């Protein structure tokens, strides 16, 4: 091998290693971003949460889409902050809202500007009886579980990764005392009106929204790493028959 060939080979190896290193650094930065989202929303730091998004970002949540920084602020500050913490940007005594971020899988596009992530949250939430407001249904004493899946999109802006689309799909809810086997229908009602008819509502409604005990696969952003095929799930016909039977049952 000539000296020129050896140099070219080394330069190629350095280029490949640099590209792989940058990809791993991007994955770590995105993972930190997603985990920070969990820490911020845990402590009801809603103003700081909004700052994690791109200016044209959006949040897809509970059957609605909140678009742009204005829409995202409407969700986190005008809706969550006022309902959960009396307008306080930060935790308040007696209110629990833990959002651990788990099982995150990050895939960065070859251009290094867009990335996709899938993660899970297993939330514990509630309000202590000594801090309940019986006159306000949103401020009553209660404790519940929530499990959900994220399928998010991230964008690097001026060298800093931000959330472009936070697509959070709650999978199930349960009262702490009775568990998920007894979850009542519409445990959390989906929005039915958009902004401005609903002052804190979404800009758009999502038609195909569901909650436990309905159970579907949240589509994966990536293909199967071994087979290279799309990851899909069959829909058990018995679920459909059971749902139709419940609908057809006469009222008593």
Q: Exposed (0-12), middle (13-18) or buried (19+): which is 212, by Cβ within 10 Å?
A: middle
Residue 126 has pLDDT above 80, yes or no: yes
- Using an 8 Å Cβ cutoff, are 137 and 118 in contact? no
| Separation in Å, CA 185 to CA 172, 180, 238 | 11, 11, 19
Structural domains in the chain?
3-209 (3.10.450.50)
Token output for 214: 């309905």
Q: Which residues contact 35 (CB under 8 A, 6 or more apart)?
A: 101, 104
pTM of the model: 0.88
pLDDT in tens, 2-49: 887 787 777 788 888 878 888 899 999 999 999 999 999 999 999 999
| Separation in Å, CA 202 to CA 69, 74, 220, 228 | 12, 9, 24, 36
pLDDT band of 252, cuts 50, 70, 90:
very low
């Amino acid at each position: 091998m000539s000296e020129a060939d050896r140099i070219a080979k080394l330069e190629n190896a350095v280029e490949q290693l640099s590209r792989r290193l940058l990809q791993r650094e991007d994955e770590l930065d995105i993972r930190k971003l997603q985990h920070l989202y969990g820490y911020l929303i845990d402590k009801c730091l809603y103003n700081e949460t909004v700052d994690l998004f791109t200016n044209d970002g959006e949040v897809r949540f509970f059957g609605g889409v909140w678009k742009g920084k204005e829409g995202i602020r409407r969700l986190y500050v005008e809706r969550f902050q006022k309902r959960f913490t009396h307008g306080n940007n930060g935790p308040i005594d007696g209110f629990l809202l833990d959002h651990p971020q788990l099982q995150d899988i990050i895939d960065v596009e070859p251009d290094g500007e867009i990335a996709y992530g899938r993660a899970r949250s297993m939330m514990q939430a509630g309000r202590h009886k000594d801090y309940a407001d019986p006159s306000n249904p949103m401020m009553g004493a209660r404790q519940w579980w929530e499990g959900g899946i994220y399928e998010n999109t991230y964008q690097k802006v001026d060298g800093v990764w931000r959330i472009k689309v936070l697509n959070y799909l709650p999978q199930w809810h349960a009262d702490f005392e009775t568990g998920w086997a007894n979850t009542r229908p519409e445990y959390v009602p989906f929005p039915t009106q958009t902004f401005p008819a609903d002052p804190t509502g979404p800009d758009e409604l999502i038609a195909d929204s569901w909650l436990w005990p309905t159970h579907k696969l949240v589509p994966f952003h990536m293909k199967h790493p071994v087979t290279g095929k799309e990851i899909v799930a069959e829909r058990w016909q018995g679920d459909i028959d059971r749902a139709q039977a419940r609908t057809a049952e006469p009222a008593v």
